[in-house]
Amino acid sequence: MKTMTLHNQVEMPQLGFGVWQVEQNEAVPAVSKALETGYRSIDTAAIYGNEEQVGEAIKNSGLGRDELFITTKVWNSDQGYDNTIQAMETSLEKLGLDYVDLYLIHWPTPEYDEYVETYKALEQLKKDGKVKAIGVCNFDIEHLERLLDECEVKPAVNQVECHPYLAQNELKDFCRKHGIHVEAWSPLMQGGDVLQNEAIQSIAKAHGKTPAQVVIRWHLQNDTIVIPKSVTPSRIEENFDVFDFELTADEMNAINKLDRGERKGPQPSEMNVR
């Protein structure tokens, strides 16, 4: 497993396991299977409603805390300095942990204009040892620029929707320039049209791999952190089985050309749900 060194020298596995849209009754077996398969990075969030189940799976795994990288997120309705401090305590209690490795602001919700104060709370939580690294989700360049201007610690990670139909190249260039790692949610476009794409299917056939494995490999070779989600044991294993082949430069270019700015989720600047 390749790790990415965040700007504060924290090591983060490049391939992790996401639990967005994983129901509570499916979360323990899914996370347990992921850990058994070899995943060591688990990505959850307060709004997912499954932090307790993730914590249970971690406890049952027998793995040492230092072997794991756990991410969670503060939800929009908990933004603001004091609310965020309390939200972290609630998440730690549910997860059964003393700290998380990465804590993220889930959305900037610019209509409410609280993300700078929220981020300052993340900075304090980092000072207090409750979190090893801090970052954001779904932040556009304009939101990141405010944090860089008004806060002390730059985000270690920006987790955004990213897949071959939404390559996020401009945002990636900005993040790379400022030492911020990009992490892809919905990396397989939620099993959508991208997996049916003729070019991706052709590349998969050439390597004896599935389209999903090819797309995950594309993310990895683009130096993107990636967190595919599944509750199906065979797919959990399949999504991890991506370290025994490499895409050629021509194959990478063919996938890069598929970008068409197509989102499954909302525009960050327009997402103000609380």
- Residue 33 to residue 165: CA distance in whole angstroms: 29
- Residue 25 to residue 207: CA distance in whole angstroms: 36
48 in active site? yes
- Residue 71 to residue 99: CA distance in whole angstroms: 10
Burial 106-138 (b: 16+ CB within 10 A, else e): bbbbbeeebbbbbbbbbebbbeeebbbbbbbbb
Burial 18-50 (b: 16+ CB within 10 A, else e): bbeebeeeebbebbbbbbeeebbbbbbbbbbeb
48, 88, 54, 84: which is closest to 70 by C-alpha?
A: 54
Alpha helices in the chain (DSSP H): 24-37, 51-61, 81-95, 115-127, 141-150, 169-177, 198-207, 211-221, 233-240, 249-256
C-alpha distance from residue 228 to each of 123, 189, 266 (Å): 28, 10, 19
- Residue 193 to residue 117: CA distance in whole angstroms: 39
Q: Which of 48, 103, 115, 119 is catalytic?
A: 48
Residue 55 and residue 97 in contact, taking contact as beta carbons nearer than 8 Å: yes
Q: Which residues are catalytic?
A: 48
